[in-house]
Amino acid sequence: MAAAQEDSFVERAAALLGQHGYFGLPVPADFSGAGASVLACCAIQARLAQADAGLAIGMNMHLFSVGVILEQWRVKQDLSWALLEAVATQKRLIASAFAEPGLGGSILRSTCCAERVSGGYVVNGIKTPCSIVGRSDLICLQMVSTEPCEDNLLVALIPASSEGLTVLPTWSAMGMVHSESDTLKMENVFVPDDLVFYKTRAGQDDDPVFVWSLCWFAVTAVAIYIGIAGKALQMTTEHLARAKYSGGQRTRASYPEFQTSLGAIVDRYLLLANACKNVARAMDERRDPPQVVLASALSLRSSAVDIARSMADLSELCGGMSYGQKSPLAALWKDAQAILYHPPTRLVCHEMLGRMALGQAMFYELVGQTEDCLA
């Protein structure tokens, strides 16, 4: 697999995070991790986003992957604890390779076919975009077994040095530059049986492991965008406090119109921030059934698209200075637009919430029935 550029911001940042125990953040202390709560992880992701949003998104894929393994161990009490311990003690960075062309953000399906061989599987396919994949130690991915069986979707954790893996530098988005979300090409990659730690049915899964994992993904991702919005709010209030308006001596902050408009944005921001904290606390406390917490997490994720609108509103309050190529607020606006496409998208969230309300089977994709995609 091609190596990432060594002397870079992301390389230095990853090394610094590793030195301070970030890679083992949610890993229980019994397995040499930091034992951080979901709430603490969200707070850290929000702060990391204020330093660099792309870096936070890239590292969040590591956090999500560790969260999946953690939930597997919590629910199954199996040997997945060894993976957690290895990540924490060896400071292993995990790339999450679930995105594929044409999947629309679904993580319960795959176009990467895994053929059964002695001792494991041989998988071929393309994963993109895959954050920090070029500098990862391990890769968490899903694939579909060609065997005729019900639990045909496999989730594995494989070494990034596995033969047949190639990273193609394809990331060219207008924002989230440091997420390094490139393309992973798999050509006859061997995946040993003991590295497959989760199996389920493609397209449908109400297993607590998947449900809690999806909660991890939604709440930590939203925390990042809340961090972006918080930094943009700070920039805006500082600008309004010093910028004159209409050629006079009064600052923008002294006008009721600016105060009211800013207050409306703060109102929406606080609503999301508090909702994020509540979902994180619910995940930590585990007092409610996983499906109940998931419903709140999906509602949070869906509502978080408002951050993209809020960024535009903040830019309008600041005026033309925020439209410049070198404007820090413009850079944050570009980063924040990714919330519109970050899975699970609002369309998927709404369908899942609707099906849950109707008591129907939960699908993590825009299909009427799982069989529609299996045919």
Domains in the chain, start-ordered, CATH in brackets? Answer: 208-374 (1.20.140.10)
Give the 3-state secondary structure of 45-93.
HHHHHHHCHHHHHHHHHHHHHHHHHHHHHHHHCCCCHHHHHHHHHHCCC
pLDDT, position 206:
76
pLDDT of res. 4: 56
The pLDDT of residue 367? 54
- What is the predicted pLDDT for the residue at 246? 79
Res 8: pLDDT: 87
Q: Give the pLDDT score at 107.
A: 73
Asked if the bond preceding 129 is cis, omega within 30° of 0, the reply is yes
Rounded to whole angstroms, how far apart are CA atoms 279 and 106?
22
CB 145 within 8 A of CB 121: yes
Which CA distances in Å does 225 have to 2, 31, 121, 230, 355?
30, 30, 37, 8, 27
- Helix, strand or coil for residue 343? coil
What is the model's pLDDT at position 205? 64
In 3D space, the residue among 363, 252, 268, 365 whose CA is nearest the CA of residue 313 turns out to be 268
The predicted structure's pLDDT at residue 273: 99
- Residue 333: what pLDDT? 97
What pLDDT shows up at residue 3? 47
The stretches in the chain having pLDDT less than 70 are 1-7, 105, 204-205, 365-375
b/e 134-157 (16+ beta carbons within 10 angstroms → b): bbbbbbbbbbbbeeeeeebbbbbb
Residue 204's pLDDT is what? 67
Structure confidence by residue, pLDDT tens digits, 321-372: 899 988 999 999 999 999 999 989 999 899 999 999 999 877 776 654 444 4
Q: Which two tokens stand for residue 65?
A: 């992957």
* Nearest CA among 309, 210, 218 for reference residue 267: 309
Given this model, what pLDDT does residue 369 score?
A: 47
Helix (H, G, I), strand (E, B) or coil at 159: strand
pLDDT the model gives residue 102: 81
- Report the Cα 94 to chain-centroid distance in Å: 13
Looking at residue 113, what is its pLDDT? 95
